[in-house]
Amino acid sequence: MESGMEELMPRLLPVGDCDLGEDFDPTVPPRTPQEYLKRVQIEAARCPDVVVAQIDPRKLKKKQTVNISISGCQPAPEGYSPTLKWQQQQVANFSAVRQSLNKHRNHWRSQHLDSNVTMPKSEDEEGWKKFCLGERVYSEIDALSDNENLGIDYMKVGFPPLLSIVSRMNQATVTSVLEYLISWFGEKKFTPELGRWLYALLACLEKPLLPEAHSLIRQLARRCSEVRLQEESKNEEQISALNLIICLVSRYFDQRDLADEPS
């Protein structure tokens, strides 16, 4: 045994020297406190000064970056800021929807889905985007052909957030789908299909919010405020829908720093 191993580090505990004898075997479990301390010293001496982590490069291909902003929402375009009375009414209506959903959740969950409804698995991001938004919005197809207008093809126009569907979604799935749609919305325009699903998912979101859901809805409100400000045509119906989501996030889910100042 090397003599330098006797004093590896400054002693922090008053442990005296001990002679363990030549029969000391550091490979067997220690039988005395002195043997334990000696074994710790030997193992510490064998540790390299620098350790390099072995990283699987395949894991780096997944989304790793989380953008966190503490800034509030962009103010509404001039003349489009919602009144306090309107915001209070929307919160009251939303609260009633949530209560009704919770009350009748078991009933709607027991209802049979149509044969053409196949809900994607929770982790199937692309599947959920197509399920909620439809191929037309997801693939950014401007219009349907005349033949497609003869009947509703939900695979193309998206499935609406029916109670029989959202009642089957647990909180993990609700949060995942919300994340998928917010991610999509981060680079795409706001559509009625997206708005319906965002409202329904917010109605299914349980309070108190988990940290992940808290971050998601704040991201959603800020994105809505950005899109609202960029709305060149000032479509009142579109701005009203964006105002509604900001209102629910800020006033129902208590993110008051994101709230619109009453007009």
- Per-residue pLDDT of 131-186, as tens digits, reads 999 988 877 765 544 444 435 677 788 899 999 999 999 999 999 999 999 999 99
* Nearest-angstrom CA–CA distance, 88 and 8: 68
202 class by beta-carbon count within 10 Å (0-12 exposed, 13-18 middle, 19+ buried): buried
For the chain, the first-to-last Cα distance in angstroms comes to 81
Contact 73, 246 (CB under 8 A): yes
Q: Where are the domains of the chain?
A: 84-111+122-140+153-258
- Helix (H) / strand (E) element for 211: namely helix 211-230
Residues 6+ apart with CB under 8 A from 117: 154, 159, 165
Contact 223, 187 (CB under 8 A): no
C-alpha count within 13 angstroms, C-beta hemisphere, residue 187: 5
What is the DSSP code string of 167-207? TT--HHHHHHHHHHHHHHHTTS---HHHHHHHHHHHHH--S
- DSSP structural state of residue 208: S
Match domain 84-111+122-140+153-258 to its CATH number in 1.20.58.1070, 3.30.420.40, 2.40.50.140, 1.10.3720.10.
1.20.58.1070
- DSSP structural state of residue 75: P
Contact 184, 129 (CB under 8 A): yes
Contact 24, 35 (CB under 8 A): yes
Contact 135, 156 (CB under 8 A): yes
pLDDT 10s digit of each residue in the chain, 263 long?
444 444 445 555 555 555 676 677 777 777 777 777 777 777 777 777 666 777 766 655 555 554 445 567 898 888 889 999 999 999 999 999 999 999 999 999 998 888 889 999 999 999 999 999 998 887 776 554 444 443 567 778 889 999 999 999 999 999 999 999 999 999 998 999 999 999 999 999 999 999 999 999 999 999 999 999 887 777 889 999 999 999 999 999 999 999 998 76
Helix intervals (H) in the chain = 33-45, 84-109, 125-138, 154-157, 163-166, 171-185, 192-204, 211-230, 236-247
